[in-house]
Amino acid sequence: SQELEQSPQSLIVQEGKNLTINCTSSKTLYGLYWYKQKYGEGLIFLMMLQKGGEEKSHEKITAKLDEKKQQSSLHITASQPSHAGIYLCGAGLSYGGSQGNLIFGKGTKLSVKP
């Protein structure tokens, strides 16, 4: 079955440091979504990427989708304690299929030490 692999599973960084989280699939993705979740809370939508080579930024977070649309990275610049949480990637499996159903990676737990 189709899976999204996220790496690393967890990450501890010092405040002010940069970090990167990866999301990889063996198949072409139709829509790649990044979410952030704080423990015990719902998912907050961060960004969506659709086109190969696309890159989007929001504040200090940048997400990229590779040309083959099989891998995405989420990069945080100058991390802050407010960036701490679980980052999940989600993706559509087929163009126009399954009514927009997504599959998700298992998440990357980010801790930022002040």
Partner 1 sequence: SQTIHQWPATLVQPVGSPLSLECTVEGTSNPNLYWYRQAAGRGLQLLFYSVGIGQISSEVPQNLSASRPQDRQFILSSKKLLLSDSGFYLCAWSRAPPRPVYEQYFGPGTRLTVT
Q: Return residues touching partner 1 (CB under 8 A).
A: 30-31, 33, 35, 40-45, 48, 50, 88, 90, 92, 95-97, 99-107
- Of the pair 33, 84, the CB lying nearest partner 1 is at 33
Contact 107, 66 (CB under 8 A): no
**In terms of CB distance, is 13 or 30 closer to partner 1?**
30
Find all residues with CB under 8 Å of 82, minimum gap 6, and list them. none
Give the nearer residue to partner 1 in terms of CB position, either 85 or 92: 92
CB of 71 to partner 1, least distance (A): 18
Listing DSSP states for 43-85 in one string gives EEEEEEE-STT-EEEETTEEEEE-TTSSEEEEEESS--GGG-E
Least Å distance, CB 16 to partner 1, is 30
